[in-house]
Chain A
Amino acid sequence: MRYYPESLARLLTELRKLPGVGEKTAQRLAFHMLREPAEDIRRLGKTIAEAHDHLTQCGVCGSFTDKTQNPCRICESPNRDRSSICVVEKPDDIAVFERMGSYRGLYHVLGGVLSALNHVRPDDLRIPELLSRVEKEQTAEVILALNPSVEGNATVTYLSRQLEPLPARVTQIAYGIPIGSELDYVDEVTLNRALESRSEVP
């Protein structure tokens, strides 16, 4: 990057730290920003900084929320079904469920999955918070929606054992064939998983 002016090189270095941004994307973003009116770019910078300053972790579910709105909007909403909690790995996963729109219950963000290799322990995840929540709020159902990785499955095992003494029903989302895809385009591993969890025709 020696051929760039110093301040441009610094901008490129910062942009490249973002996920999914390589050299080419960084360059495209940087040149776009430089072409925009200074005022717009200042607003962008300010918005990013403010978002960072104003956001905090929701004291209940662990997702992001504004500091002025804690617990978050979903946790506070009178329209949500308070008898069910959907457990996810990260806040991004909540957005996926919300876009879908048909789930009306509450959420709980673990902040990761167990890993002996990476030294991630139950106390590093928001597992104690989940247990006390389920106990205190008399939750009827806990839906585990973790990724079907080795670590995700281990975490499911741990959670189901920890939740066992409580009256809540513990379920796990199903894995299988994406709707709208043709069977012959589904990879064999997914198909096998779907075959294993097949169900009776109603």
Chain B
Amino acid sequence: MIGRSGNLRIAIEALRSSKWRSLLTMLGIIIGVVSVVTTVSLGEGAKRGVISQIEQSGADLITVRPGITENNDNKTSGLVGSNYNGTLSNRDLEVIRKVPGAYSVVPFSYVANTASQEDVIFNKGLVIGTTGGLPQVLGQKMQYGTFFKEDEPQRDTAVIGQRVAEQLFGENVPIGKFMTIRGKQFMVQGIFEEFDTSALVPGTDYNYAIFVQYDTGKELTGDSDIYQILVRPKKDVGSSVLAADITKALQKSHANQEDFTVLEQKDKLAEANNLLTLMTGFVASIAGISLVVGGIGILNIMLVAVTERTHEIGIRKAIGATNKQILNQFMTEAVILSSVGGVIGIIMSLLTNYLFRIFTDLTPILTWPIMAIAFGVSVLVGIIFGVTPALTAARKRPIDALRYE
């Protein structure tokens, strides 16, 4: 396309001679590229966050929930009790414990959603009844104090997430302090390390959770419903094998009624991925509109340039330029406009990325493929929107072009 005919030089010369116009035309592409690239890299960052969070808590974690829905979208919904059309009971817990591949099995029961200390009321989180295997199952360490031991005698103590410590007690290490849950005093015996979360992860934010012993919780509510059971397989057992075994065992105990859901972590992963990809794609395509607008800017300015340079086209044709050579000349110019715009846009998005990292909690990730695609797309925009003006130029009749002043 550029070849020996020096179109590149001609194009650069032409663009330089009207610097402001070229720059303003490029601005459309620059804004388009920056918005698309930033959106995609934000989405990419969120995706990585979700994946690392899910993997940290164990990629082989299995979640058993009561009820079943045909609708896949609700499957991973982290909202408690969102689809109770079945129950899980202590008997189910025992059944799962007896499945050979299960290494540790931890039930979650919903106890309350309010805790208070003096006149501070905390109602942003949940009070969850659970057993001693939780830190192991979630792969989460304690920052201060200890979690309940398995087979520990029943005590009125609680383990809390960091947000609870901050918001209920207003300090980082409220170990030994008391709070009231449903009229009963609980002493804080441990605080979890901060759980990795991102706003985009479906699931409960355990930083806002208060954990009490399973049996204590049951006594408090008089309820034996379990809203989820977390199972970690033994080391040499695959999570899908175990999930199948659990499903079979539960079916047997529920008289072949499938009123429960067995979720593998990788389901969650795939689901979260799908959701984020969809969201990113949606926002990016809206941002992509600005790229189209940028392209129309190029179209417009190239049409003006072709009209302005009609006489020049005439001269070039008179001394022997073919239609194709004229076409190439103007195509080169359009593509230079869009691709230089693309490069500047990519550089600007790198800058935007750093600004995001510095001033917000978001961690956008800008990978080489994203940049390469962004560049490719901007070149493509130049080609698509450059064709019409270039064809107009190429098809001018030499004598008409030459006479044009």
The answer to whether A and B interact is: no
Residues of B within 8 A of A (CB): none
